[in-house]
Amino acid sequence: MTAAPRLRVLAAMSGGVDSAVAAARAAEAGHDVTGVHLALSENPKSFRTGARGCCTLEDSRDARRAADVIGIPFYVWDLAERFRQDVVADFVAEYQAGRTPNPCLRCNEKIKFAALLDKALALGFDAVCTGHYATVVRAEDGSRELHRAADLAKDQSYVLGVLDEQQLAHAMFPLGDTVTTKGEIRAEAERRGLAVAKKPDSHDICFIADGDTQGFLAGRLGRAEGDILDEQGEKLGTHDGAHGYTVGQRKGLRIGRPAPDGKPRYVLDISPVNNTVTVGPAEALDIAALTAIRPRWCGTPPSGPGSYTAQLRAHGEETPVTAEPVGDELRVRFEQPVRAVAPGQAVVLYDGSRVVGSGTIATTERPVPAER
């Protein structure tokens, strides 16, 4: 049996346990590994207290200590300006336009597997290694495919659905091909002497340190009072800015009186043009089809309509669909209506465990009412 080639690998180390174990596994597999921490915050907090993401000075130090234990070189690369332009500014602009973006997908597309990968290849590295839970499979024709992780409970292929075949050819996910609990990953880190073994996971949006998305957006877009309307256009209340809402939202609507039937109301539509938010019953959130823009294909694009499953949220369920690329768009129709699909979110298509591609949801269609 021919031994696997020894690669020059750049391991992106966030300062968390997953990326540290991934770097350690890559080094243990015999690769020539160099660790790098991406400084993405322009004003990183010194300590994690009050900071819920992965961009603090403490995280940088934790990554350096992990690299020292593994025995690999380590560097910090400043990509804060690129991150601000491609991820943070995009996030704000999308909310301002009444859409709900996923910054993790944008970061993978624009930072980790574009800016970072481009720099890595220019420096002579063969691959970028991260702590994502997903797998890259080499097909019979030599092309690369992205598949779900062996452990579906931790699968992160949804946020990697923006990677094309060229990027996949230089991607390495050492945690994706084994079924291990997070507890087992932490135990492995402890056996390896990595101090991050007991470090809490990062969560929420990394660049919103306190988790207050509405406050973050208000600080950048301001507050502007507008109307909350029902489906008939009747005013039910006011808000401080339409950008603070997302389709499907139920809490924090500040509506003065209940619906006539006593049932909860949900955000159905956001109009940044006239700064209004429309609310209504849960059943009005049902969607039969959608159109997505900026499709990204993890391999050869489909040549016509096909049957797939689609995932609409990072931790959402799969649902059967028929999908077809049409020009620069992706048309998706659901076998059964789905609920609370927000423009700006990503739709990711799967063929079994294989990720076919993704697109950014632009418009949605409600089911045609049944004739009485």
Q: What is the pLDDT of residues 159-177, one digit of tens each?
A: 999 999 999 999 999 999 8
pTM reported for the whole predicted model: 0.91
DSSP symbols for 177-211: TS---HHHHHHHHHHTT-GGGGPPPP-S-TT-TTS
DSSP helix, strand, coil percent of the chain (3-state; round to 5): 30, 30, 45
pLDDT at 370: 62
pLDDT tens digits for range 193-240: 999 998 887 766 888 877 788 888 989 999 889 999 999 999 998 998
> Looking at the annotation, which residues are catalytic?
107, 206
The residue ranges of every structural domain in the chain are: 8-198, 223-280, 284-365
CATH superfamily of 284-365: Translation factors (2.40.30.10)
pLDDT tens digits for range 41-81: 766 554 344 444 456 778 899 999 999 999 999 999 999 99
Which ranges constitute the DSSP H helices of the chain?
A: 17-28, 57-70, 80-83, 89-96, 103-107, 116-122, 165-168, 182-191, 213-221
In whole angstroms, give the CA distance from residue 359 to residue 372: 36
In whole angstroms, give the CA distance from residue 246 to residue 98: 8
Name 119's Cβ contacts closer than 8 Å, sequence gap at least 6: 77
Taken in order 50, 54, 55, 56, the sign of the CA dihedral is: positive
Residue matched to tokens 């970061």: 107
Which ranges constitute the DSSP H helices of 71-155?
A: 80-83, 89-96, 103-107, 116-122
CATH superfamily of 8-198: HUPs (3.40.50.620)
CATH 3.40.50 fits 223-280, yes or no: no
